[in-house]
Amino acid sequence: MSTTTQHKRIHLRSRLFKAGTTKLKYSWTYSPQVQAIHGSPKALWQRMQNALVDVYGESTVATLMPVIFQQLQKSRQTRPAARQALDDQRSVDWVKDEVVYMLYPERFGVNHGGKGQGDFDAIREQLPYLKSLGVTTLYILPFMSSPLGDAGFDVSDYTNVRDDLGGLDAFRRFRDKASAMGFKLKSDLILNHISDQHPWFQQALAGNPEKLDYFVSRKEAPVYKRFRDEQRGIVCDYTEADGSVSSRRLMFPDQVECHYRLINVNGQDYYFYHSFYPFQLDLNWENPHVMLDVLNVIAFWVNEGVDIFRLDAIPYLIKDFGTDGENRPRTHSVVEAMSCFLQLLAPSTIFQAEACQWPQDILPYFGTADSSTHRSSEVQVCYHFPVMPAIWGSLLEERAGLFWQAIQETPAIPNTCAWAMFLRVHDELTLEMTDVDTRKRLYEKLESKGESFRSGLGVSGRLASFLDEDPRRIIMAYAFLLSLPGLPIIYFGDELGEVNNASFAQDASAQRLAMIQATGQTALNSTYDSRDINRSPLKADTLNRVLKRRHNATGVLFQQMQGLIEARLASEALRRGDLSPLAFGEDSVNSLLAFQRQSEHETVWVFINLSAKALTVDLEKPFNTYFNFVDVLNDEILSERYLRLPPYAFRFLKHL
């Protein structure tokens, strides 16, 4: 979409290879163990080259490939031996056996009565707490250098750690201890945009033409119409010079007017495109220099120990004129090229896509898998945004129908991949991926317990607040989540019943305003972000007390979460089994969620009472016979035909 870069002749910074080189002697090898797990590196190399050609054209790619080859060689030579050993050992679908815990590094284990600043040393001190909980992968929300205009999603240096978190040395201390305790690490990779404080943009402001080409910009003022679409929310339709219309969702309609920020560079006005905040300028992925620099970033962090990269806002990379700027074919080519590079360098590390899209639009991000490469060609995990609000619909309306509808509409994915399942994350509880009627119903139930976000498309707030701080409903919701296929993600504080914090959101707004004023950025319509009510710190004292005192309400909830996680990790069926509903015929009850999880060696039956009324379940109905069962959560033996479920109760049963 950039008017400054349209496949023009590329002058690569590296002069080690001549432009136009069409052949490269291929000498890349895997160990026999890695090749048995991950397939042929030559096939990956060819797939990467083909994907790059889709984006940049053959002549440019002929110049790119030798430089990328050099990047790979250098990074493989410096790859730590311990990481190479993991490349030899991990299965291609290892992620199916994980439980993820996500946290803000500056807000976890905070000292000084919750008013202090968390950092990587504080997280390191709390690793025993996380080990006790039972989670296996730690998702550390943005920690790369940032002025913190958007909670770290505005990166100012891709290969450094924020000073307030202790810098790179503190990260490494944390990483080493976490690894020694058996944890895997997940990190954000924010590739759609960067902070306007990043050196690339600062050099562009200084008039560097090469760096101007790193960004999506235009010289003419955008002509647009802003309006509300019932399904898409606030939309800006831009009339382009060729008469086409670029119809774009406005992600932060309360904060900004449109997608363009006017900046004068050396006497020339430029309108820089931003998908989100004006201080987050979108990168121009039609510029191959951006690709080369990002590959270096991937190589850096993969050798620093990252096991999963969450690709933030990935649908927006390529912004073709005359389109909605989402899920474009060349975006998939960009992702495929990066995925091939990652697998060639570090086949034990994977990608997860953050794509808030409908199922038919999410599916292509998995790509394809074949016998030559084994792993899927794009990402290995995608958030399941359509199922998440369906789970909430079932919880709030006390009926299983919405959930089963979403499951029926879920497409099959490559068998080495997984859906990321979640109840809450750091963002709002988005209702975008629902029909309009369902959205209105759920919004009405949620809005009074949180705060609106994006004009009715979502509601900010914590899980406990949405569930009326009822510990029965909180643990039942997580029993729901942890009994489903895929990769479950737990948001920090949910295991303790943490609630909304309005004062923290006001403080965050003031800090955002101060940052904008200090850096001379374009003013926002509002600096208040309602999502901050579900982002408040978790005190070190709180975490320490939970491990010492297990009998209060918080401690009991924590113990119940421990039991659910332990049961999942111990059960092949719960981790990897297929999901199918149990049929009760005429005796079916809307408020009963009942299904089977069946793997090669195990079957578990899950029964969840979604309602405030007790239920009695005839166990003979779905099986046409009767068995003795044992509850895998507490080893209780059930020898009666009828299963009694108190309000919001659940059972995970196996044959005795």
Active site residue 312: yes
**Amino acid identity at 624:** N
Q: Cα dist. 63→16, 21, 54, 142 in Å?
A: 10, 6, 15, 33
Q: Please give the Cα distance from 331 to 361 (Å, whole number).
A: 12
Chain centre distance of CA 418: 13
Q: Please give the Cα distance from 68 to 45 (Å, whole number).
A: 10
Q: Who's near 511: CB < 8 A, 6+ residues apart?
A: 148
Question: Residue for token digits 């009998």?
Answer: 551
Q: What is the DSSP string of 279-292?
A: TEEEB-TTSHHHHH
Q: Which two tokens stand for residue 495?
A: 């295991």
Active site residue 602: no
Alpha helices in 270-386 (DSSP H): 288-303, 329-345, 359-362
Q: Please give the Cα distance from 131 to 121 (Å, whole number).
A: 16
Q: Which two tokens stand for residue 213?
A: 């080409």
Q: Please give the Cα distance from 98 to 489 (Å, whole number).
A: 9
CB 655 within 8 A of CB 628: yes
Q: Please give the Cα distance from 656 to 629 (Å, whole number).
A: 5
Kindly report each contact of residues 323-326 with a partner whose C-beta sits within 8 Å and lies 24 or more positions away, as own/partner: 323/246, 323/247, 324/246, 324/247, 324/248, 324/249, 325/1, 325/246, 325/248, 325/275, 326/249, 326/357, 326/361
**Amino acid identity at 620:** E
CB atoms closer than 10 angstroms to residue 164 = 15
Three-state helix/strand/coil letters over 166-205:
CHHHHHHHHHHHHHHCCCEEEEEEECCEEECCCHHHHHHH
Q: Please give the Cα distance from 237 to 222 (Å, whole number).
A: 10
Question: Of residues 93, 354, 397, 532, which has the active-site annotation?
Answer: 354
Rg of the chain, C-alpha, whole Å: 25
- Per 3-state DSSP, the chain is made up of helix, strand and coil in percentages (nearest 5) of 40, 20, 40
Q: Cα dist. 495→405, 421, 566 in Å?
A: 28, 16, 14
What single DSSP character describes residue 363? G
- To 10 degrees, what angle do helices 329-345 and 288-303 make? 40
Instruction: Go through the chain and tell me how many residues it has.
Output: 656
Question: Of residues 87, 188, 196, 312, which has the active-site annotation?
Answer: 312
Q: Which positions are annotated as active-site residues?
A: 312, 354
